Amino acid sequence: MGELTLPRLGYGAANIGNLYRALTDDKAWEILQAAWDAGVRYFDTAPHYGLGLSERRLGQFLATKPRDQYVISTKVGRLLELNPGGGGELDLAHDFAVPATLKRVWDFTAAGIRQSVEDSLERTGLDRFDVLYLHDPERNNLQDGLDQAIPAMAGLRDAGLVRAVGVGSMDTDALLASVNTGALDLLMVAGRYTLAEQPALADVIPACRRHGVGIVNASIFNSGLLATDTPKTDARYEYGAVPIDVLERVKAIAETCREYGVSLPTAALQYTLRDDAVLSVVVGGSKPEHVRQNAARLHEHVPDELWVTLAGRGLIPA
């Protein structure tokens, strides 16, 4: 990974791709400016986010900032192609409120990976990316991702076109298989290592340590469940409804946090940063105040006794 150092907090730019609801260009800019003003210097995007809208908006914003002052990552694996007749519909099947004028086409070939990078550079208007992640390989063909896409990405890194490569996924089997290729620098673990649940601790995190792979932890609020002090039945979890057993555990975690005067989102944000394998956490936000709150939570005091009590009550691993 060379000289690349990831900031502890990053902004995940799915929201400015109109995730769940439409944002104006001005509002998207306000969100990004709030992140910048709060000290955020790592930004993560993807072609998938709003069919390129996130990349375009982020690129326009970062064009006003010194290139050596921020880190940007995007993703590969899905090319965007014209979708004739789709302009009258919204991309709501993928949760983005954007016209479906384009469609996603999986492509894990070396040519497809390179094309994806070139397309993303054109959309952002930037001259380079720092990090590339293969996006959700298990949703297409994991074996092709391991055999074709990851070697192609490693080739781009070795040629000096990007500084680090990784895989981003919510699937622990896919994450583990990807780490075990021995070709990655980073792993974006989405929702599998959070205050609510930690399935990545069994095999994925130990494999990262063995291979010297750094972890970028995403979806640390489990799509919203951990984002408020009072988790509710209708909270969004993994882009859907929250299971009762998970909700009850999170309510117990929230109550324990209250005993120590710590907000649940603050505990959720800081929990995995205690692990030296985790280099950065990436958090989204659809309003400027959300971004400012998350940046402030990074610096709030959380007593060690909270973690001891949570472990003692069986709410997190000892």
Please, are residues 240 and 247 in contact by the beta-carbon 8 Å criterion? no
For the chain, give the mean pLDDT: 97
Q: Is residue 191 in some structural domain?
A: yes
Calculate mean pLDDT across residues 121-149. Answer: 98
Containing structural domain, residue 224:
9-312
Calculate mean pLDDT across residues 295-304. Answer: 98
Checking if the pLDDT of 167 tops 70, the result is yes
Q: Is residue 4 in some structural domain?
A: no
Instruction: Give 235's pLDDT tier (boundaries 50, 70, 90).
Output: confident
What does the DSSP 8-state code read for residue 72?
Answer: E
Checking if the pLDDT of 206 tops 80, the result is yes
Planar angle of CA 271, 276, 279, nearest 5 degrees: 85
Burial class (CB in 10 A: 0-12, 13-18, 19+), 230: exposed
So what's the pLDDT on residue 241?
A: 87
Calculate mean pLDDT across residues 128-132. Answer: 98
End-to-end CA distance of the chain: 31
Closest among 318, 291, 301 to 267, alpha carbons compared: 301
Please, are residues 57 and 32 in contact by the beta-carbon 8 Å criterion? yes
Q: What CATH number does the domain containing 38 carry?
A: 3.20.20.100
Q: Is residue 178 in some structural domain?
A: yes
So what's the pLDDT on residue 238?
A: 82
- As a 3-state breakdown, the chain gives helix, strand, coil percent values, each rounded to 5, of 45, 20, 40
* Chain Cα centroid distance, residue 120: 17
Cα 102 to Cα 89: distance, rounded to the nearest angstrom: 11
Instruction: Give 2's pLDDT tier (boundaries 50, 70, 90).
Output: low
Q: Is residue 3 in some structural domain?
A: no
Instruction: Give 163's pLDDT tier (boundaries 50, 70, 90).
Output: very high
Active site residues: 49
* Continuous H helices in the chain: 25-37, 53-62, 110-124, 142-144, 150-158, 172-179, 204-211, 244-259, 264-271, 288-297, 304-312
So what's the pLDDT on residue 1?
A: 74
Which tens digits make up the pLDDT trace of 29-60? 999 999 999 999 999 999 999 999 999 999 99
The beta strand positions in 62-137, using DSSP E, are: 71-76, 78-82, 102-106, 131-135
Cα 288 to Cα 35: distance, rounded to the nearest angstrom: 7
Number of helical (H) and strand (E) elements in the chain, helices listed first: 11, 10
What does the DSSP 8-state code read for residue 242?
Answer: P
Calculate mean pLDDT across residues 84-94. Answer: 92
So what's the pLDDT on residue 86?
A: 86
So what's the pLDDT on residue 212?
A: 98
Place of tokens 């210097």: 41
Q: Across-strand partners of 214?
A: 186
Read off φ and ψ for residue 92, nearest 5 degrees.
Answer: -70, -20
So what's the pLDDT on residue 59?
A: 98
Instruction: Give 240's pLDDT tier (boundaries 50, 70, 90).
Output: confident
The count of domains in the chain is 1
Q: Is residue 317 in some structural domain?
A: no
* Chain Cα centroid distance, residue 109: 23
The neighbour count for residue 305, using CB atoms within 10 Å, is: 11
Q: Is residue 44 in some structural domain?
A: yes
What does the DSSP 8-state code read for residue 89?
Answer: S
Q: Is residue 2 in some structural domain?
A: no
Calculate mean pLDDT across residues 178-204. Answer: 98
